[in-house]
Amino acid sequence: MATLENKIDFAVTLRVKKANPNGDPLNGNRPRMDYDGYGEMSDVCIKRKIRNRLLDAGYSILVQSDDYKVDDAKSIKDRIDKNISSEIQKDNKKYFEAVCSKFFDVRAFGQVLAFKSDKKKKEQTDDNTSGDTGVSIPVRGPVSVHSAFSISPIRPESIQITKSVSGETTESGKKASDTMGMKHRVDEAIYVFYGSMNPQLAEKTGFSNEDALAIKKVLPKLFENDESSARPAGSMEVLKVFWWNHGSKVGKYSSAKVHKSLKVHPDGTFDIDKLEGLEPEIIPGF
């Protein structure tokens, strides 16, 4: 397959309604916010959902979450060992190429392949310092994804919840403290995030035109099969996907100028500034 031929920029608008789009573990799992009160979904959260949708579509993914994995691998290293022979892993160049070829998310988003040696010992180097005989190979991916931010400041709502039964038996026979809890949600908000695909980096990882189309296909379905107590079915919705294909490797405009050409309003409507020679394809959400 030919590697990515043209620079691509994209944007996704989404609606959150009575859901917690991305909880902050440092703030009691309340919806993430910046210091100005705008809601945030981290880029890691968004890429997790893209990976899951690619898994649904049958692609091989290296970084799988424990609650959404399709194999019996116990770690990233274990998954690599089950798919890449030990002989190939001895050659860094072949190792790089094999991991990129096998795993979609590595050739798209990149990955730091840093693992300790299988041999539980250190080898003495020429300068008499101990050196780990493991491997550390950085893979820089061509697909970058920004964090998503709400168009207007959000005001999270919190409710106290109780469970009807204790998680553990208490000596007194009364309900345990774990029967009380809190749930947080955003009543309603419009978020937007941006991304880009770089043909020069795609040449190094083997990211292809077909790979770009696969991401384009899953973006409208970002929240399908993603239901949870914090995000009930239908509470997270992709409104539009905007897809700019520059038609050349270097691009007709900078990504900053392309992204700024999209003006999203608090009700989800939008305006697009005209960029000569570059029209976005607008794809409705699933």
Instruction: Kindly report, residue by residue over 117-132, the tens digit of the pLDDT.
Output: 765 544 544 555 555 5
Confidence of residue 161 (pLDDT cuts 50, 70, 90): confident
What integer is the mean pLDDT of 164-187?
74
Average pLDDT over residues 24-46: 96
Mean pLDDT of 100-113: 97
**pLDDT confidence of residue 203:** 97
Write down the pLDDT at residue 180.
Answer: 74
Q: Which positions ≥6 away from 65 have C-beta within 8 Å? A: 48, 52
HSE-up of residue 3 (Cα within 13 Å, Cβ side): 20
- Residue predicted with more confidence, 170 or 21: 21
Query: Average model confidence (pLDDT) for the chain?
Result: 92
What's the CA gap between 158 and 117, in Å, rounded? 47
* The predicted structure's pLDDT at residue 135: 82
User: Is residue 277 scored above 70 in pLDDT?
Assistant: yes
Which one is predicted more confidently, 277 or 174? 277
Which tokens hold the place of 155? 């005001």
> Per-residue pLDDT for 228 more than 50?
yes
Domain extents in the chain: 8-119+132-165+179-284
**pLDDT for the residue 171:** 67
Q: Beta-strand (E) ranges in the chain?
A: 8-19, 23-24, 30-31, 38-41, 110-115, 123-124, 130-131, 135-140, 143-145, 148-153, 157-162, 180-197, 236-245, 262-264, 270-272, 281-284
The pLDDT value recorded for residue 48 is: 98
- CA 83 remoteness from chain centre: 23
Beta bridge partners of 111: 139
- How much is the pLDDT for 23? 96
CB neighbour class for 80 (10 Å; exposed up to 12, middle 13-18, buried from 19):
buried
Sequence-distant (≥ 6) Cβ neighbours of residue 214 within 8 angstroms: 54, 57, 59, 104
pTM for the full model?
Answer: 0.90
Burial class (CB in 10 A: 0-12, 13-18, 19+), 138: exposed
